[in-house]
Structure 1
């Protein structure tokens, strides 16, 4: 008979942009609930990933990369929104995972650590991408250096991509969660709707295929989402800020837009376990990323 108490609670997944927070969330949940691309700040929304284990349940709050807001006039409304979303993730959580890239510790990592300590949270250091370090003996002096003078509730070298080191991490995190029953059903993996996830999967393809040309000038609005028998019919509008950007997204003869649509549809069918009929359009709204009203209309609201 198992006498270990069941634990459940909220876990903030925090770190500077592009250290693998979303990859870690997906790995723990066991399904793709958070989009991933090589571009920094791919994640724009707070998203709850629900990871259920025999011993407990982690409610993982995946966030945009936490970075210092310079407070200048050039700081866009989108930039300010992502910082608010990242900081808001610290409210009401039980423990925080500070995700860093193995072999690196930057000023931005220090900034994220201080923000977590300032919130009074236990901080578990997650050293990600250890698979990229060929000589593993280099890890020991690095771990010693980053731990010196910092109060971590645990230090875990992992590879989220290869799912290495996750078991020990889960055990440490669970020890900091309150004893209580699961807060979500075992088969639930996120608090977001299929409609929201569909928009994110289209945006993921935009970031992957156009990251060099249009890193942050695009967003996606799901205009229609309906169930037709065993098929999902989805209409997605890709918003850009200028006509020239529209031409880039569409591509020669519409080739790029078709590729974005095809790859998005495949990801949707995999996640939703259903056939998907996806239509995509590209429209222009000048300056949407620095327009608070436009951001709210596109789903960026607190």
Structure 2
């Protein structure tokens, strides 16, 4: 069987998390239209007759490193190239960005087989432009394959998966057949709450927030989850809570329903909103909130 690790890389908001979720046939990574929704490296494991692919969803690679959190996101994305067998580089259109030149250099240094994926291809009407971009891409880098897909609509994902499996080395299964991730359920509970916050709130606020599970209690017929939503300023706390607590109530209800789907059990979810000034630019605060990977 072919088994190995696959890094999904690219700039923020190109659809890496959506792509991994659809390749797995199950939602693991949270998604939104806002950049930098993914903050942690998440492994999604797919086992089939052809073998086992361990997909590594990563934060988007970006040039803004003004805060410690931004530097952490870039470091996490870069470190994913260590110890993988195949790289899938995701673009969301027929153009290169300035930061893509840095990605080329990282890939050259890594010396790994790379598949270029053009996502959201259903939005591109000019097929000749697609072919011209493919020819240009082949001149820029020796990609193993260039695959146009629509992750959201499952277009061409079977072809992409075949190319990935063909590049993975032969070997025994790394994880049990029925395992789909290496992250615990409490991690995904926090991520689901953060997804609802990100989708419900304005453009800037999600970047000043994080979610911490304070207590996760599993009982025979009920899972009790107590979570803190950390913001950086008192004014942000008021926005998250909303008028008479309505915003927080909506977020809590949406998150609870999704967590129940994930774990297949009734959930009691209690949310508190707390202020931790400057947490996103404080290394000690980030470590306390679980942002520093030890791998």
Shorter-chain TM band: over 0.9
Deviates more, 1:182-191 or 1:91-100: 182-191
Q: For the residues of structure 2 that align with 1:200 and 1:112, how far apart are their CA atoms?
A: 27
Let me know the Cα RMSD of the aligned residues: 1.3
Structure 2: runs of 5 or more not aligned = none
1:287 Cα deviation from its structure 2 partner: 0.6
Matched, 1:153 2:148: no
Shift of 1:128: 0.5
Residues 160-195 of structure 1 show CA distances to partners (whole Å, capped at 9, x for unaligned) of 111111111111111221101211122211110000
In 2: Cα distance, 1:53 partner to 1:138 partner: 35
**CA deviations over 1:216-275 (Å, ceiling 9, x no partner):** 000000011111212211111100011000000000110100111111111111221221
Aligned positions of 1:12-51 closer than 5 A = 12-51=7-46
- Residue 142 of structure 1 deviates from its aligned partner by 2.0
Q: How does 1:97-116 map to 2 (within 5 A)?
A: 97-116=88-107
Does the 8 Å contact 1:99/1:126 carry over to 2?
A: yes
- Maintained 8 Å contact 1:98/1:113: no
3-state SS, counterpart of residue 148 of structure 1: helix
Contact 1:105/1:146, CA 8 A, preserved across alignment: no
Alignment partner, residue 216 of structure 1: 207
Q: Which segments of structure 1 move beyond 6 Å, counting only runs of 4 or more?
A: none
Which stretch shows the higher mean deviation, 55-64 or 136-145?
Answer: 136-145
1:82-124 alpha-carbon deviations (Å, 9 max, x no partner): 0110011111001100000132321223322321221111111
For the residues of structure 1 that align with 2:263 and 2:129, how far apart are their CA atoms?
42
Q: Structure 1 residue 46: deviation in Å?
A: 0.7
**Within the alignment, does 1:8 sit opposite 2:3 as a pair?**
yes
**Structure 2 matches for 1:1-302, cutoff 5 A?**
6-68=1-63, 75-302=66-293
Q: Distance in 2 between matches of 1:291 and 1:221?
A: 16
TM-score w.r.t. structure 2 length?
0.96
Q: Which residue of 2 aligns with 1:3?
A: none
Q: How far off is 1:33 after superposition? A: 0.8
Once the two structures are TM-superposed, the CA of residue 213 in structure 1 deviates from its matched residue by: 4.0
CA contact (8 A) 1:221 1:237 kept: yes
Q: Distance in 2 between matches of 1:44 and 1:138?
A: 33
Q: Aligned partners of 1:292 and 1:231: how far apart in 2? A: 36
* TM-score normalised by L of structure 1: 0.94
